[in-house]
Structure 1
Amino acid sequence: MKPGDKVRFIHGKEEGIVRKIINSRDVEVEIQDGFLIPALIKELVVVASAESFIAAEEPGQEIAPERLKTDGIYLAFVPFNDRIYSIQLINESDLDISFTFGSLTDENYIGISTGNLKTKAHIKVGEASVKDFDSWPSWITQCLYFSYGRTIYKEPLVRKLSIKASTFYKNKKLIPLINEQGYLFKIDDKQTPINKEKLVQEMYSAPQEVKEFSRPAPEIDLHIEKLTPDHLKLNNSEMLEIQIRHFQKNLDNAIASGMDEITFIHGVGNGILKLKIQEILSRTKNIVYFKDAKKEKFGYGATLVKIN
């Protein structure tokens, strides 16, 4: 057993992640609410082993995590289990910060967390449900920078992070300071100033070649064994991630290439993939309607999408 292992309590339903080896008998475990509790090693069973480690474990010593090559402020979405992401605020800058974190839906703002965060440290600021991914709000982070004595002045940070599936899953990385796989977003990037002269030149330059979209097949099979040869090595969450990416790519290409309709074969299973597809379709422009495809051919395991 080592830091980063996902564990379950033998005499309970709780799950958590090992954060520290205290001694040969005890470890420190982070449970779902972000609390750190001591636990006997003999009372735990490893559910999933940590993927990689930077230093050898020693009793009483935490693993030194891998650092990013560039400093900054980050939001990370770290899977706690296959249902919940833990939202972590990471301070890889050289200054301490005071922060607020909340969510914004339409004009409704909800404050979720506030506090202070030392340099080279992280803190859990919230949670997000996997099943509600397509209806996630925008995440609002506000930070003030501080250091005693003379230092470089930095403007307060206000960042609104709106996440879409097409960009979210491309940001899977080893999370700094936490040393686990997750989805990482740098939120203190400076806005590039507009070069007016360059903009005018581009406006009057020769038109760019229009990007061609490949026309997908009229029927797209989303069964995981059709999408990757390594499906037996994946957990349910990773399988769903691949299936949704493949669905979104083919849906976008079908709309862009002018198709009238397309059928997605998702199978029956536990219904989660079908539900996620219908949630995305209900929020996508250019969709006239969607319904169960021909039952005599697919049963209830396919969805026909009519495109405008």
Structure 2
Amino acid sequence: MKIGDKVRFLNDIGGGIIAGFQGHHIVLVEDEDGFQIPVSKADIVVTNMDDYSTAKAIKLKTKALEKKQRQEQESEYEYHSIKALLHDEEDVDTTDNDDLTEEREITFKKPIEERKGGDLLNLYLAFVPKDKLSITQTSFKVYLINDCNYYVQCAYASCQENNYNLRFQGEIAPNTQILIEELERETINDISRISLQAFFFKRDKTYIGKPSFDIRQKIDPVKFYKSHTFIENDFFDSPALLYHLVHDNEPLTMSTVKTTNSPEVVGNKDSHDTARQNKRFISKKDADIVVVDLHAHELLDTTAGMKPEDIRNYQMEKFYEIMNHYKNRQGQKIVFIHGKGNGVLRQSILHELNYKYKKVQYQDASFLEYGYGATQVIIK
């Protein structure tokens, strides 16, 4: 076989003229359309055995090349060997400009809009009931609210003594809130103490550095049974219980943290209404005597789902609240109505009066005025 020989295919219809060779076993057969087809020598047979001269072979080859060049000029596609075509398919980028535009639009990030006064750090922990009409039965959605112009990276965990259970770790964008978990009612006690570690920063610009915080907070499980602790707020369409963990750059400790029913957190009208609800168990007989009814039905809307120790712990918290408020008011008289019962609450109160509040005198209060189960305390 030589260049210029006419051949036909053994395993297919058609044939052509030999235009060249690739190695020892591949023949380039040019068909009538000018395509060069690589074929094994074993798959073709020569149909014209004329002995072409070298000059004729060169002439045929030159003619074939000229024809190929004309075709290349007339078409936007180039005709290559099979290997070259496969290579071109891998390299050619056929992406439409419109597709590129769409991709840029999808990946484009809108710059963060900062609000005036938002450089003061404020961070909230929020509990939103799923069913606001059934507070004592519903579960809760738990949110972290980043109410400032800074990004915050934080780790939120529940803790028992020195043992921690990570419940959320991640980043919160400026002036946004993020759902961190859903809390079932039977697991509320699991978060009676929480830890929040947080640091704040801005992206793509210079900013004033802020301190990082390691906050410990006690969550009162009893609040989840009291409907008036879930009130209207600026963050959600439904009532929520909010813990203000960072207030104007300052972390709030367990003794200073404010919830939504604190006057400092909500508007004046709402705070006064809530304050009246919170103080319904307190009355004043006169300027010198404060009467505090610690019965559970006076403190709580309902005790459904609460264990006896939960109720007693809440009663003792109210006792501490009153004592800490009046402990420096010399001569103040306080009557705690704790009921007769089995005496557990009374014993707890007397224990605290003996060991924690030593600058007081106490005695049984008047039976005629307060009935059985009342203790009068006088601040010395």
Same fold (TM over 0.5): no
Higher relative contact order (CA 8 A, sep 6+): 1
Which is strand-richer, 1 or 2? 1
Indicate the structure (1 or 2) with the bigger Cα radius of gyration: 2
- State the TM-score, normalizing by the size of structure 1: 0.43
Which is helix-richer, 1 or 2? 2
